[in-house]
A = this chain, B = another copy of it.
Amino acid sequence: MAKVLTSRDESYAQWYNDLVLKADLAENSAVRGCMVIKPYGYAIWEKMQRVLDDMFKETGHQNAYFPLFIPKSFFSKEAAHVDGFAKECAVVTHYRLKNDPDGKGVVVDPDAKLEEEYIVRPTSETIIWNTYKNWIQSYRDLPILVNQWANVVRWEMRTRLFLRTAEFLWQEGHTAHATRQEAIEETETMLKVYAKFAEEWMAMPVVQGYKTANERFAGALETLTIEALMQDGKALQSGTSHFLGQNFAKAFDVTFANQDGKLDYVWATSWGVSTRLMGALVMSHSDDNGLVLPPKLAPIQVVIVPIYKKAEELERINKVVDGLVVRLKSLGISVKYDNDDKRKPGWKFAEYELKGVPVRLAVGPRDLENGTMEVARRDTLTKEIMPLEGIETKVQQLLNDIQDNIYKKALDFRTANTTKVDDYEEFKRLLDEKGGFFLCHWDGTPETEERIKNETKATIRCIPMDAPEEAGQCMVSGKPSNRRVLFARSY
């Protein structure tokens, strides 16, 4: 059948967009920059949410919900934050429409102008710290370990499905602590949660590290990040965890009486991942035939397709498959038996390949005679005939193997595309020729960082946590450096 996707070689960007649309993950909406997340895409997001939510709860967090709107004045309270966030935002200025006096639809009622405009939240530090002020009096009220699942809006001029949209879905954790140390530990704990989720569930290896001052969240003292490498050699920032110090507590006057009865400002963190992870998932594993999903996040882990000509053949297949479906489900495997008569097997094979279903079982009359099934795995596109007897445990093992295999494949790709470079000219050349991650010495100044960014479009993705001490010289300035940092072009 005809290829439905542009190939990655032809245009990676077009391949990505084709795939998101054709695999029914999401589409653009009538509202500029806002997407519709379609049921199949949302089912993956729900799986992500469920796993992350469980991980947050295991680490002691509770969910809550704060208002969508933020009074404009709140943004001015934290100086760095206002510069970083309060600019490209959706602004609510009125609260009523009225019938158009000319009789054509509705118009904004000029009499219903808000005294103070509301901003649709781009992130919720300000409204939440304004709330925490009333929740916190003493050390007994601390820590507050709260997370919110919400939509946020950042007015983006150039948008791409999942990767950069005006509205997106995310979770934002906002915690309050009695001590600096405890807040720092929380920041690190949550980064580790994100890294574990990325690697064990998304099968996506990530580099954990610290952002440079330039790249920090607006208002943070330290931003920790997980950075993943996409197949086109660009980095994707996949989750961040911020140590906010006492900045927001000071901005919103949130103090607590410590055990000695002395007042101090509260220490803060915030951390988030978003529907951007959907883009990361797509770009980490998928191929020119469609999605490749890690079994742990696939809405359908196994699809069974009957091959038949006559109705009575289908009936016999149905009987065998019905039992298998029960056995697979009892192992906690999500399975779809697609015996829809309106579609041919070839169409179904292509459809489930496009949608990244990890394992496909096919069964025809001859299989029934032989007591076998054809088992196809999505990651390697290989097929094998297996005995029907006990196939459910084989499938379970296969799902684990696929999960491991796509992680390993992504890790091998990253290893092959991580280059140590000591010379700036070579850096520039390899950045264009090969792309990927680069480990280089940097003199630690924002000026050098800025120059590299302007000249190459590569940024410091992070100072890796596990970067070994290594004496060297900045590849640009020649000044001393004591560890390599991670450079890449990025999404």
Contact = CB atoms under 8 A, between A and B. Distances in A.
Interface residues of A, number: 64
A106 B81 CA distance: 12
Interface string A49-75: 000000000000011111111111111
A92 interface: yes
A432 interface: no
Contacts of A62: 39, 42-43
Interface in A203-258: none
One complex includes copies of this chain to the number of 2
A96 interface: yes
Contacts of A117: 108
A282 to B, nearest CB: 17
A341 B149 CA distance: 33
Interface centre among A43, A89, A140 (most CB of B within 10 A): A89
Nearest to A131: B36
A88 interface: yes
A92 B93 CA distance: 6
Contact of A38 (B35, B64, B69): B64
A231 B127 CA distance: 35
B92 A63 contact: no
A300 to B, nearest CB: 12
A101 to B, nearest CB: 14
A128 to B, nearest CB: 9
Interface centre among A27, A90, A98 (most CB of B within 10 A): A90
Interface of A: 27, 29-31, 34-39, 42-43, 45-46, 62-76, 82, 86-98, 104-106, 108, 117-120, 127, 130-131, 134, 140, 146, 150-151, 153, 155, 167, 169, 342
16 contacts: A29-B67, A29-B127, A31-B67, A31-B71, A36-B65, A42-B62, A42-B63, A45-B65, A68-B120, A86-B106, A87-B97, A89-B96, A90-B95, A91-B92, A91-B94, A91-B97
Given A31-B71, A89-B97, 18 more contacts: A29-B131, A30-B71, A30-B74, A30-B131, A36-B65, A36-B67, A37-B64, A42-B62, A45-B65, A65-B169, A72-B97, A82-B105, A90-B94, A91-B93, A91-B94, A92-B120, A93-B108, A140-B342
